[in-house]
Amino acid sequence: MKHVIKFLTFSLLFAFVFTSCSSDDDNFIETPTTLGEYDNGILVSAEGGSAQTGSVSYISNAYSTIENTIFSNANAEDLGTYVQSVGFNGATAYIIVDNNNIHVVNRYTFLKEATITTGLNLPRFMVFSNGKGYVTNWGDGFDTTDDFIAVINLETNLVETTIPIAEGPEQMVVYANKLYVSHKGGYNTNNIISVVDLETNVVSNIVVNDVPDEMIINNARELIVLCEGNPSGTGNETEGSITKIDLSTDTVSDTFAFADGVHPSLMSYSNGNLYFTANNAVYKMADFETTLPTTPIINLGNITTYGMAVKADKLYVTDAKDYNSLGDFLVYDLNSNIKIHTFEVGLVPSKIYFN
């Protein structure tokens, strides 16, 4: 009986706390001039694991404040495991989670507006074009025939159609009403960039080196693809490369191959310079350069480099440590190439976005 009373008291208390929270939320006034508390800063998404589900952290542009788990702080619910990436469209952020959910939030307040829960199967990344969202899906990561792009109606937040596509679609870039999709290969490996004509949804392929992942479009309007190469773990190790694709002809115009055994993994672009990581070091390559750089600009030391982004004169890196501790978010000054800040963020931090 005592426990029943205890239980009831607790339930009442809980109810009280939650109703007061939600009434606070109801009273939250959004004015056009206040974008929200997570404006003017950096968002770091973390995949999560069994100890902590995926999460997003906010670090202010002045590096003066940090707040972890901003989604659950704003919504009193967890994102789930594993958070893959976040897509941004206007004032809305789409947080993509392995458990077949996309949480739709206001990117400045992180208050949830909707969740896309149907029609996804191991979603990876999301981009936007002509008022539609495009989400890469692996399906079963071992199955080479069930991969697709889900086309999301952004009004209804429902999957309105799907485009079947080759194994392991990963990141996407939209250019000239075409969707360029890198095929990292899911749990397998692949070596193509799919080009989807967004008028007709007709798909064609560009063959590149193995395991293409990160893509950017440089100032010269070339598509730069970072191909990691097959890791030795596949039993068929191949070379990594930086591959340039001419967007007027959709053909490979240049390939910069890495030395055997070097597998670059992260890439970012800023002010005519490409930044990429290989073996815990950061390299810089200007648009006009015709050979791969041989000396790194930053040696990241003994960390588990897991995410990287560059903006203005700062380079940001995440350290996933042993994948079982909260990770770090590191800030490097590109004038001195010296680390100037370290913040503890979520479990297995992976992606960096600028808000």
Told to check if 72 binds another protein by CB under 8 A, we report no
- Of 26, 199, 235, 288, which lies in the binding site for another protein, with binding defined by CB under 8 A? 235
- Which stretch in 88-96, 215-223, 291-299, 315-323 sits in contact with another protein by CB under 8 A? 315-323
39-68: which residues touch another protein (CB under 8 A)? 50-53
CA–CA dist 197, 201 (Å, integer): 5
Residue 286 beta carbon to another protein: minimum distance, rounded to whole angstroms: 26
Q: Which is nearer to another protein, 234 or 337 (CB)?
A: 234
| HSE, side-chain direction, 13 A CA sphere, residue 348 | 16
Q: How many CB atoms lie within 10 A of CB 115?
A: 15
Can you tell me which of 326, 330, 345, 352 binds another protein, judged by CB under 8 A? 326
Pairwise CA distance, residues 170 & 306, whole Å: 16
**Nearer to another protein (CB atom), residue 251 or residue 325:** 325
Token digits for 255? 């390939």
Radius of gyration of the chain (CA): 21
Coil, strand or helix: which one is 224?
A: strand
The answer to the question of residue 162 lying near another protein (CB under 8 A) is no
Q: Would you count residue 14 as binding another protein (CB under 8 A)? A: yes
Interface region with another protein, contact rule CB under 8 A, candidates 86-94, 115-123, 217-225, 243-251: 115-123
The DSSP-derived string for 56-117 is: EEEEETTS--EES-HHHHHHSS---S-EEEEEEETTEEEEEETTTEEEEEETTT--EEEEE-
Using CB under 8 A, list all residues that contact another protein. 3, 7, 10-11, 14, 50-53, 80-81, 99-101, 117, 121-122, 140-143, 231-235, 237, 261, 263, 279, 304, 321-326, 347
